[in-house]
Amino acid sequence: MHRELVESSDRSEGARFDPPLHRQSWRVLRESSWAGFVADARARWVPGPAAFDRVLWHGGLRLGRHPLDPEKPPKGVAAGELVVAWGFASEPEVPPFDPAARLLLDEAGLVAVDKPAWLPMQRTRATARLALEPWLRRALDAPGLVAVHRLDRQTSGVALFARTPQVARDLHRALARRRVHKRYEARVVGRPAWRGCLGQGWQVRGSHASRFRFELTPSPGAEARSCEARFRVVAAGAAEARVEARPRTGRTHQLRVQLAALGHPIVGDTLYGAPPTGGRIWLHATELAFPFRGEALRISAPPPPGLWDDRPAPSPSAPGCARSAGCAGRTGDGVFGTGVRPGDWPLRPG
């Protein structure tokens, strides 16, 4: 049997919303019923039987290659099965989320919400319940709903979901063809010497003891993926700045990696060199714009208080969805047309 404690990202807000995890793994010695397996696992679980009951409730158990569905446990477990169990060292605090207040759009199979920081988009190793996707499935009575435009746990802002496989395919196609134009805002460490800049490079998986981390490399390689984004300073103080980011590609951690490479990591992003603050990573998905069913949609969620000393954005907008006609569809494009172009959102001097 193997066990370990995996640390969370920080020790204050992180300890509340993303507490450390306890991990154990073992092989099932003999075939048993589900009840027999649970009795044996409760005895094995080092934090104690009651703590293992929470593992089951959360669905933090993997049998072989399959994560446990806490609503549909198996009837039995075969001999030799590899068991990997993840449990929270303490029960996580749940970020407040009111679907009625956070829902930006629910139309024609497309759902957009204003995601709060610290709420995962989808199930994690330790929980299948405390995540935005399963919450929305229940709240909207949409069992087939899936996340399409994903945000990191600590990132807030506009997130996209599809109610149907067809809309999911169309959204993925639009993202792959760079027809979804994204705008983020971030609070960064330091005062950039530039008003605007273009970040380009090749992103590769880096090395870290326990967490996913990425790095930029100047030349392509077998594992490298191109990344590009435009950045603009919209406000600056003595030690921090508010930066607008418009990525053209959608790599994991891309804006975090690029801003750190520019010498200005996002405030709170200790993984990429920012000093610890005890709080969230200050990155917010402010706006997504794309053609959908013959209209140009622009879905926005203003930054939350705290991103820049609680001051409003230079051009504030109400949360929700704006639209305009004139995005004629094209054969093979599904519900998406071609009316939104990269030139519609240029980088301009501040």
Question: According to the 3-state scheme, what is the secondary structure of 23-46?
Answer: EEEEECCCCEEHHHHHHHHHHHCC
Same domain? 48 vs 185: no
Q: What is the CATH number of the domain that holds 326?
A: 3.30.2350.10
Q: What is the CATH number of the domain that holds 49?
A: 3.10.290
DSSP 76-105: EE-TT-EEEEEEESSPPPPPP--HHHHEEE
Give domain status of residue 52, yes or no: yes
Same domain? 290 vs 327: yes
Q: 199, 125, 186, 176: which is closest to 156 by C-alpha?
A: 186
How confident is the model over 156-178, as pLDDT tens digits?
Answer: 999 999 999 999 999 999 998 98
DSSP 214-227: EEEESS--SS-EEE
* Domain termination residue (choose one: 34, 62, 88): 88
Give domain status of residue 1, yes or no: no
Give domain status of residue 173, yes or no: yes
The strand ranges marked E within 108-169 are 110-115, 146-149, 156-162
Q: Is 269 a catalytic residue?
A: no
How confident is the model over 20-41, as pLDDT tens digits?
Answer: 999 999 999 999 999 999 999 9
The model's confidence at residue 56, banded by pLDDT at 50, 70 and 90, is very high
* Domain termination residue (choose one: 88, 115, 140): 88
DSSP code at position 129: S
Q: What is the pLDDT of residue 313?
A: 46
Q: pTM, whole model, 2 decimals?
A: 0.81
Residue, of 339 and 182, whose pLDDT is higher: 182
Same domain? 31 vs 148: no
* Domain termination residue (choose one: 30, 56, 88): 88
* Contact between residue 161 and residue 99 where contact means Cβ atoms under 8 Å apart: no
Same domain? 132 vs 201: yes
Q: What is the pLDDT of residue 324?
A: 57
What is the C-alpha separation between 284 and 193, in angstroms, rounded?
A: 22
User: For strand 283-292 and strand 156-162, is the pairing parallel, antiparallel, or unpaired?
Assistant: parallel
Same domain? 122 vs 57: no
Give domain status of residue 6, yes or no: no
Count the domains in the chain. Answer: 2
Which domain does 189 fall in, by range?
99-344
- Of 10, 114, 152, 269, which is the active-site residue? 152
